Amino acid sequence: MLDGKEHKDAWKNVKPTHERLWIWQKANKLHLDICRICNNLPNHEKYKLRSQIERSSKSVKDNIAEGNESYYYNDKAKGLFTARKEAGETQSHLRDFEHKRYYPADKVQQMIDEYEEVKRGINGLINRISAKKDVLNKKGSKNLIF
């Protein structure tokens, strides 16, 4: 049996569930990579391309977290749909890096491919959520968590 202090400390250093998802981990890594790349952009891009790509890449991981942590199925799906859209926007900004010659084409393509992998993972999670929702709705439950 845990005493009062041990019970109170049992919740310290617990990883949030979204941080255990490989899609969140990959999106987080990509976001950090983009932030490092942005440090080398010309100053005139600071409030243009840099700001946009840093925000969209951050939004991918943040919406994965929000969707995963939501209680209701529809809220989960909404967060994941938004994450997928933000991944697409980030891919478009990456292509701008290539076209403006801020980053090598082969490295841009590698990051775009990694975002495709994240989007496939998001699609898989959306499908999993939809399937669980369908099963519970057939049993008479409405809008429960999975």
20-37: per-residue pLDDT in tens?
999 999 999 999 999 999
Please give the span between the terminal C-alpha atoms of the chain, in angstroms, as a whole number.
30
What pLDDT was estimated at residue 146?
46
Q: Which amino acid is at 6?
A: E
Reported as a single tens digit per residue, the pLDDT across 38-83 is 999 999 998 999 999 999 999 999 999 999 999 899 999 999 999 9
**Is residue 126 a contact partner of residue 77, using CB atoms and an 8 Å limit?**
yes
Q: Please give the model's pTM, rounded to 2 decimal places.
A: 0.84
Provide the CATH number for the domain formed by 20-137 in this structure: 1.20.1440.60
